[in-house]
Amino acid sequence: MRPPTDSVRRVTEPATPAWIISPKYVVKSGAKLAATAKARMFMHLATNAFNYHVLGVMGFEHLRALIDTCACCSLEYGDLDDAVACFDRLERPDAVRSLADPKCPSQAAS
């Protein structure tokens, strides 16, 4: 298995994160994407980071910078294919007007 040629050519190009999505599997649930407050996502990530307490202020600042630049969401799903389809339909956060509709963009359009 080889990486795509375009990926190899772009190896020095930085990738900028745009989304932080906290997934939750729920049996027989459709894919539902909802906005999450940045403060809530910060606490969720800090609580689940194995080395956050070790990094101290530096960890806080890096996590704050990440949260500030990303859209924060939760995703409830019952089928992995539905979740992947939901991710495939996400736009860049600066192009998204609202995540007020709790459904995945793939379902909100139908």
Domain ranges across the chain: 19-90+103-108
List, edge to edge, every strand of the sheet that includes 19-25.
Answer: 19-25, 71-77, 32-35
**Backbone phi, psi, residue 28, to 5°:** 60, 20
CB atoms within 10 A of CB 73: 20
Under the banding of pLDDT at 50, 70 and 90, the label for residue 93 is low
In this prediction, residue 102 carries a pLDDT of 43
Closest CA to 42 of 25, 57, 24, 20: 20
Check residues 16 and 45 and name the one with the higher pLDDT: 45
The C-alpha atoms of residue 28 and residue 12 are separated, in whole angstroms, by: 41
